[in-house]
Amino acid sequence: MSTEDEINEIVDAELAGDRAARLRRDAARVEELAYHQFEGRAYKVFEDELYREVQPIVLGMLRKGSLVRLALKHSERQGWKFFADPDDLRLLKSSSEARDTVMVDMVMAALKKVQRDLKQGRGWRADYDGPRGASCLASYFITQCVLVFRRAYVRWAQGRVKWARLHAVYDFTEGAANETGIGRLLGATDYVVDSAIFGTDFEEILDEQAPETQAVVRLTVMGFQGSEIADKLNITHGTVRSRLTRFRKALYQASCGGRIWIPKELHARWSSREPHMQRVLRQAGRVAA
C-alpha cells in the first residue's frame, strides 16, 4: 500500500462524513482561495482550520509510530539516509510534549510547502484520481507532513542532544557525568562523579559571569577542546584558558560560600599553612595551567 493510500484510510477512519463530501468542500475552498491568490486573511483562516482538523490525527500517528514508519519508507524510496533512534521513538510514544514539539515544526514546514505549491499551480487537485480514489485536503496535508518529517525529527533530536550536553553540568546520570560536566571542567581524572552531587546552582553561577566567559564554559561542558573553542570564538588558546581560570575561581569561591558543593577529591592538594581562600584560588589557577 502506498503512503497516500495508507493516510487516506487513516483520515477516513478519523473524520466524519464520506470522502466525496470532503472533496466537494475542499474543491470549493481551494477555488475561493485561488481568487485571492492564496494570500490574505481568508488563507490564514483556511490554514488554521486545516491545522485544527489534522492536529489530532498527526499526534495520534506520532504516538503510534505510523508517521515515523511512513517517513522512513519515503526516505528509503528517495535514497535518503534517515535513522530514527529507538529511544527517540519511545519518547515520542510516551511524551505529549515531545510529540507537540515535533508536530509544530513539521506542520509549519508542511503549511509553507502547501501554500507554495498552490501558488505555483501544483499540489492538491480535486480531480486527482489515485488507485484508491482522490485524497481530500486533510490526507494531502498529512502526506506533506510525512515528507517534511525527516527534517523536523533531526532538528528535534539534535536539540535533545544539545540540551543534554548543556545540562550535563548538573544532570549527572551514570557515566555521562565523567565525560562532560563539572568533573571535566575542573580537570577530574580518576575521581568518579556520583549522581547529582553538585546541585543546580552551577547555572546560576555561570549566568553571573561575563558573556565571553559563559561561551567558553558552555563549549567546554559540551565536550569541545581548547583549540576547537578558540577557533569557534575566534580567540587565542591562551584566552580560552584564562576565561576557564576565571570561572574556576568563581566556582571555588561559590564553594567556600556554600552555594555549590565540590567534592574534596576535585580540589588540588594544598599546604595547610596557606589561608583557605588563597589555597582555593591557587588551585583554580593550577587546574587551568
Residue for grid cell 532538528: 155
Compute the Cα dihedral for 102, 106, 107, 108 and give only its sign: positive
Is 137 found in the same domain as 54? yes
| Cell, residue 23 | 472533496
Q: Output the pLDDT for position 227.
A: 87
Residues 40 and 148 in one domain: yes
Distance CA 18, CA 37 (A): 29
Q: 185 and 89 in one domain?
A: no
Which among 158, 192, 207 is the end of a domain?
A: 158
Which phi and psi angles does 133 have, rounded to 5°? 100, 180
Last residue of a domain, one of 103, 133, 158: 158
Residues 203 and 132 in one domain: no
Say if residue 136 is in the same domain as residue 182. no
The set of cell numbers assigned to 87 is 529511544
Residues 221 and 147 in one domain: no
> Do residues 178 and 152 share a domain?
no
pTM confidence score: 0.57
Residue 141 falls inside a structural domain: yes
**Domain termination residue (choose one: 126, 158, 190):** 158
Clarify whether residues 269 and 195 are in a common domain. Answer: yes
What is the DSSP secondary-structure string of 92-152? HHH-HHHHHHHHHHHHHHHHHHHHHHHHTT-S--TT--BTTBPPPHHHHHHHHHHHHHHHH
Residue 74's domain comprises 3-158
Q: What pLDDT does 108 receive?
A: 92
Q: Is 45 part of a structural domain of the chain?
A: yes
**Residue 42 and residue 143 in one domain:** yes
CA 230 – CA 222 distance, rounded (Å): 14
**Average pLDDT per 10 consecutive residues for the chain, totaling 289 residues:** 81 82 89 90 92 93 93 88 86 90 92 90 68 75 92 86 55 42 51 43 77 80 79 86 86 77 53 42 40
**Same domain, yes or no: 109 and 211:** no
> Which pLDDT score is estimated for 206?
79
On whether both 136 and 181 belong to a single domain, the answer is no
Q: What is the pLDDT of residue 226?
A: 84
Flag whether 115 is in a domain.
yes
Q: Are residues 153 and 183 in the same domain?
A: no
- The total domain count for the chain is 2
Q: What's the one-letter identity of residue 147?
A: L
Does residue 165 sit within a domain?
no
